Amino acid sequence: MEARVSAQRAYHHGDLRAALIAASFDLLAEAGLQRFSVAAVARRLQVSSAAPYRHFPGRGHLLSAVSAVAARELGAAITAAAEAAGPDPSDRLPAAAGAYVRYVARTGAGLPVIYAAELYQVEDDARREHTRALMTTMLDLATAGGARSHREAVLLVEATIAVAHGYTSLLADGFFARNAGTADDIAARAVEAARALIPG
């Protein structure tokens, strides 16, 4: 997976746009989408509240750039997890559930960020390309995993995402705290739960 430069490193190297995106991931991981704002990102970087607007006209445009990066990175993480799972198609889609849990636990940028409703009003070809590619990857894994039609593949992807997102949400809410479950532990549980969804 392509490494993302840290917010402070990018900023000190003069790339405020990259720093804003990196700081956005940090903020999402700590505070979630509801508390995400351009002003909060600017405060993290200790720049003026006006500085981000030289690169992003508003919250939606900054979030769209984050969405594009997240979709690309998550797609790469899912592809790598599927490859690591081996050649059996019944292992490859469930591996995507584990990759999702690990990625969201680290970045805070799951599908509610990648496909945030407010982004449909933002024209961004890069975001659309990466989000389409992410879903194509998932659908291809579902088809290889036994889905007999496009509709079955869509439903299998939805179910896999629901399992993965459910485990991610429970992890973020502290549900697993008593069992001291790490993100990797929870990812493994998500893989097992997703495996039960595979036809046959």
User: What is the count of structural domains for the chain?
Assistant: 1
- Mean pLDDT across the chain: 90
d(CA 145, CA 167): 22
d(CA 116, CA 166): 17
Indicate the residue type of 137. Answer: T
* Domain annotation covers residue 130: yes
User: Which tens digits make up the pLDDT trace of 126-140?
Assistant: 999 999 999 999 999
CATH number at residue 79: 1.10.357.10
What is the domain extent for residue 135?
59-195
* Domain annotation covers residue 5: no
- Structure confidence at residue 6 (pLDDT): 55
User: Which tens digits make up the pLDDT trace of 5-23?
Assistant: 555 554 544 689 999 999 9
List, in order, residues 6 or more apart from 161 with CB less than 8 Å away: 97, 100, 111, 138
Q: How far is CA 50 from CA 24, 33, 38, 119, 174, in A?
A: 16, 21, 9, 22, 36
The model carries a pTM of 0.88
* Domain annotation covers residue 118: yes
d(CA 153, CA 137): 11
* Domain annotation covers residue 42: no
The pLDDT confidence band at residue 3, using thresholds 50, 70 and 90, is: very low
* Domain annotation covers residue 7: no
User: Which tens digits make up the pLDDT trace of 146-199?
Assistant: 899 999 999 999 999 999 999 999 988 888 866 667 889 999 999 999 999 998
d(CA 194, CA 181): 18
Residue 36 has pLDDT above 80, yes or no: yes
* Domain annotation covers residue 76: yes
* Domain annotation covers residue 26: no
* Domain annotation covers residue 117: yes
